Amino acid sequence: MRIRARVTLAAAVPFGIALVVGTGAVVAVYSHGRDREVTQAATAEAQVLTRLVAAGQVPRVLPLPGGSTLLAQVLGPDGQVLAASPTASQTQALPARSGVLRSDLATGVPLRVVVDRVGQDTVVVAAPLTDVRRAVHALEVVLLVVVPLLLLATSGVVWWVTGSALRPVEALRRAADDPSTTALPVPSTDDELARLASTFNRLLSGLRSQLDRERAFLADAAHELRTPLASLQLQLDVADEPAPGLQAEVTRLIQLVESLLALARAEADVAGTRAVVDLTEVAGASGPPVLVHADRDALSRLVGNLTANARRYASAVQLTTHVDGAVGVLDVDDDGPGIPAADRERVFQRWVRLDPSRSRGGGGVGLGLSLCRAIAVSHGGTLEALDSPLGGARLELRLPLSPR
């Protein structure tokens, strides 16, 4: 899950729980407050009627404040209705249990009942809870709509704010993912991201300087070795009887120096003359024309190294090309022993040679596949080792097709 989604979820979940708990508390407090108001009104009216009964001044129709919805009755010893308010029944007695929520049998309305006894008579005042229940229900409905909207709005704000905060991070990621980037963009804000970008730039600068020094040393060493080797080769050419094996070793050293120079140029991405070339034609492979924008000489060296490497370990080598979307593919297959899965990345490292016993001709110096991958990467492509349908290894070169 992306950081943006995780942050939004981490903010929305506790906020949603808090909203639900807060909503329940609001409804409970509001309901309790309204019920208390109703109970207080009924209790006050019961006290007034109690004083009238105690004074023997009970009218047949009990008085209530104007607009009151209370129900009031005075009941005799046997429960008969002695007096009632205009809103209450003159014959059917109200429940005579104080504080108990009952239902009026005539109307079915829930009631809050307050009971007070005076001698043998009983004063009963009941407050209908319809309005209270309706108000609480309306509040619940409002909160049921408002809470999800509020949660949605909050999540949207967190999503937007998180996206805005992470936008510089995404810019840093894209820049770091671009092979042509020389420095990461530093946000204009003086915050942690800006300091992090500056730190990364210093680190990249140090790494780049170290790589440049290594490449310069490699190129200089190879260049300096060419002159004495050329002189030695010349002396061998004019010698009457050179020492046995010396010519082969000198040739090997010359090939090593040339490989070092080519590797240094490829890793430094020193582009030669690039043009639209047919990968199928350059490789001498079978397949449709595959047009790529590349340095023909470097591409020829790459294909030559791949082919030589395959023939060193196999008896049959097959080169085929095809187009995969916007990518041209060259497959170099052989029927040799293949490359173990654990070694398929290691073979592209410098100086790495697998079991020399697999080589039929003495093997190379361990730079061929490193040079091939460096050339592929410098052209924006990839080079991978896979299983071949011939039973051996497949070296798969993938290069972007030319836009023309």
The string of DSSP codes covering 76-88 is -TTS-EEEE-TTS
Q: Could you give the CA distance from residue 294 to residue 134 in angstroms, rounded to a whole number?
A: 80
pLDDT (0 to 100) of residue 200: 81
Specify whether the CB–CB gap between 39 and 114 falls below 8 A. Answer: yes
Residue 211: alpha-carbon gap to chain centroid: 33
pLDDT (0 to 100) of residue 244: 65
Burial class of residue 377, CB neighbours in 10 A (0-12, 13-18, 19+): middle
Q: Could you give the CA distance from residue 347 to residue 350 in angstroms, rounded to a whole number?
A: 8
pTM: 0.46
pLDDT (0 to 100) of residue 45: 87
Q: Could you give the CA distance from residue 139 to residue 29 in angstroms, rounded to a whole number?
A: 12
Neighbours of 123 (CB within 10 A): 27
pLDDT (0 to 100) of residue 224: 63
pLDDT (0 to 100) of residue 108: 63
Specify whether the CB–CB gap between 100 and 57 falls below 8 A. Answer: no
Q: What is the mean pLDDT of each run of 10 residues along the chain (404 residues)?
A: 82 88 85 84 87 84 80 86 85 74 60 86 85 81 85 90 81 76 76 81 80 69 69 74 70 72 65 85 96 92 92 92 96 94 89 56 66 90 95 96 84
pLDDT (0 to 100) of residue 106: 54
**Cross-strand partners of 111:** 102, 128
pLDDT (0 to 100) of residue 120: 86
Read off the amino acid at residue 355.
Answer: D
